[in-house]
């Protein structure tokens, strides 16, 4: 039977989740300290700005420490768990947590850094060989966090770790804080540096809670709150000494006071992208009403044949891809540095989906190569994954054109914001019975409003109008689409 001392403690860090993501929030731990985990078993569920992701651990063994509580935001590269590799057999003789957590003591591996270098002859524990995005699993990352005494921050506030936000705290073990670095203060992003500058906060007087002393946004925000609270207490003392009499009523709240909702996660990512689109893209919108009666009849006939049901959005997607083959200018992006328009070969069709977590835009890959049945199945799969919060970053990025069916909200029209860095978006309103002149006579027809918002840099109004008119013709006479296939 192997013993704990026969193995090694491997530290697994939050991997690079791709698509430029730099941080993630711990939503739910899937393992406890003392649990035995297999290679590639998910150990934590995190939320990024793109999606909810289960993170698998590339090492098998006993979990000896967890870093971060649920709700904590960690940067890429911060420790997630340590695993006693080779302790699985020892755990078979009894629950692993009885050896450390059961008696209230810290896990044996949690507070001690591993030896700097293993003996040359000692074989290295192997990972699964599966490579997470931007993260290899075949070799253990070196540990650089060392324990040193806590020191207060510039605010002088007491409380949570002497004013420091601890983003990585092993359960039942000691806190590892980073040694101070020479040179510029390490900050997770320029936005955090700007936030500190706007409030005259000296970053050199803060202790970062990220790996190697990296200063996170949470560190700056906590220091600002502590400073504000300290200032409020000082003002209260001054007012009590020579100002308002004791027992005087507090001033009424400002009319501008209200509930603050952090722009983070999916909501924050959407806000950043929409803001960038408005800043960088000179967009314009054109729209047209179309008689969708024949399209609805065609769909009814297709679904009466006994085969798989075809969705309306799938038919609209087929019309979009056909229109883009005739007007490829709208399936493009603008390279601002090279001052070039890049016309893209394939159509990766995004579609707007409203979920409990906010608006997301899943992407149907190679939509131009799919028939209506395949499109229907893919739309259904991605919509279900979106509502469950299980879309991967790859399923939420890489779109070249977006279809926005806002008619499901019961509205007729809209001028949507382009999904940067795409060049256009087709909007579809609700389909409702309306008076319409059909074949020279007034009749009640199924009418829909179509709108196209486009980047005026990639084409002029003639091209945009031609695209939208072709889409409307296909909606009114589906046979037009058949002639182009």
Residue 425: name the closest of 458, 393, 380, 383 by CA. 458
Return all residues near 161 (Cβ < 8 A) that are at least 6 apart: 150, 175
Closest by Cα among 425, 81, 116, 392 to 284: 425
CA proximity to 347, closest of 336, 334, 332, 335: 332
Q: How far apart are CA 475 and CA 306, in angstroms?
A: 23
Nearest to 461 by CA among 351, 341, 329: 329
The residues with which 403 forms a beta bridge, in sequence order, are 351, 426
Annotation says 438 is catalytic: no
Residue 455 bridge partners (DSSP): 283
Contact criterion met (CB below 8 Å) for 468 and 450: yes
Q: The tokens of 47 are what? A: 């939320």
Q: Is 103 a catalytic residue?
A: no
Rounded distance between C-alpha atoms, residue 71 and residue 388, angstroms: 19
Considering 3, 199, 438, 456, which one is annotated as catalytic? 456
Q: Using CA atoms, how far apart are residues 25 and 71, in angstroms rounded to an integer?
A: 6
Pair 400, 422: CB distance under 8 Å: yes
| Exposure letters 62-96 (e unless 16+ CB within 10 A, then b) | bbbbbbbeeebbbbbbbbbbbbbbbbbebbeeeeb
Question: Rounded CA gap, 351 and 332, in Å?
Answer: 17
Reference 188, options 199, 200, 179, 196; nearest CA is 196
Residue 485 CA: distances (Å) to CA of 94, 161, 318, 369, 480:
66, 66, 10, 11, 9
Q: How would DSSP label each residue in 246-295?
A: TTPPPPPPPTT--------HHHHHHHHHHHHHHHH--EEEEEEEEE-HHH
Out of 6, 202, 335, 460, the active site residue is: 460
CA atoms within 13 A on the CB side of 360: 29
Q: Where are the alpha helices (DSSP H) in 154-247?
A: 190-198, 217-242
Q: Enumerate the active-site residues.
A: 456, 460
């Amino acid at each position: 039977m192997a013993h704990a001392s026969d193995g090694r403690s491997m530290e697994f860090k939050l991997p690079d989740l791709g698509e430029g993501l730099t941080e993630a929030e711990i939503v739910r731990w899937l393992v406890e300290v003392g649990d035995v985990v297999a290679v590639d078993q998910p150990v934590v569920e995190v939320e990024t700005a793109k999606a909810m992701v289960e993170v698998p651990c590339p090492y098998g063994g006993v979990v000896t420490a967890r870093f971060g509580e649920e709700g904590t935001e960690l940067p890429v590269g911060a420790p997630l768990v340590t695993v006693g590799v080779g302790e699985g057999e020892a755990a078979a003789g009894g629950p692993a947590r009885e050896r450390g957590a059961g008696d209230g003591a810290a896990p044996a591996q949690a507070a001690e850094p591993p030896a700097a270098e293993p003996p040359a002859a000692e074989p290295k524990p192997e990972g699964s060989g599966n490579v997470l995005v931007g993260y290899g699993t075949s070799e253990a990352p070196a540990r650089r966090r060392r324990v040193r005494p806590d020191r207060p921050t510039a605010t002088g506030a007491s409380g949570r770790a002497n004013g420091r936000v601890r983003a990585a705290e092993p359960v039942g073990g000691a806190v590892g804080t980073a040694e101070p670095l020479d040179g510029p203060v390490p900050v997770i992003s320029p936005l955090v540096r700007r936030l500190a500058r706007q409030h005259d906060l000296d970053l050199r007087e803060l202790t970062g809670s990220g790996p190697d002393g990296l200063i996170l946004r949470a560190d700056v925000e906590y220091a600002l709150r502590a400073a504000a609270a300290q200032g409020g207490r000082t003002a209260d003392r001054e007012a009590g000494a020579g100002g308002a009499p004791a027992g005087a009523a507090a001033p009424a709240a400002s009319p501008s006071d209200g509930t603050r909702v952090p722009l983070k996660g999916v909501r924050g990512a959407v806000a950043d992208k929409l803001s960038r689109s408005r800043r960088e893209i000179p967009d314009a919108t054109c729209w047209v009403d179309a008689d969708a009666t024949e399209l609805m009849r065609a769909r009814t006939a297709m679904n009466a044949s006994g085969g798989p049901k075809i969705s309306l959005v799938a038919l609209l997607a087929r019309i979009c891809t056909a229109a883009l083959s005739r007007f490829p200018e709208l399936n493009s992006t603008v390279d601002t540095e090279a001052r070039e328009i890049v016309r893209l070969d394939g159509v990766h069709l995004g579609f707007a989906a409203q979920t409990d977590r906010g608006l997301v835009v899943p992407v149907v890959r190679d939509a131009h190569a799919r028939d209506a049945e395949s499109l229907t199945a893919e739309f259904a799969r991605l919509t279900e994954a979106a509502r469950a919060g299980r879309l991967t970053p790859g399923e939420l990025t890489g779109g070249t054109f977006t279809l926005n069916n806002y008619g499901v909200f019961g509205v007729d029209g809209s001028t949507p914001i382009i999904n940067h860095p795409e060049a256009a978006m087709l909007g579809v309103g609700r389909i409702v019975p309306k008076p319409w002149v059909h074949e020279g006579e007034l009749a009640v027809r199924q009418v829909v409003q179509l709108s196209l918002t486009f980047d005026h840099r990639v084409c002029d109004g003639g091209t945009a109008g031609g695209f939208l008119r072709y889409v409307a013709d296909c909606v009114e006479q589906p046979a037009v689409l058949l002639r182009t296939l």
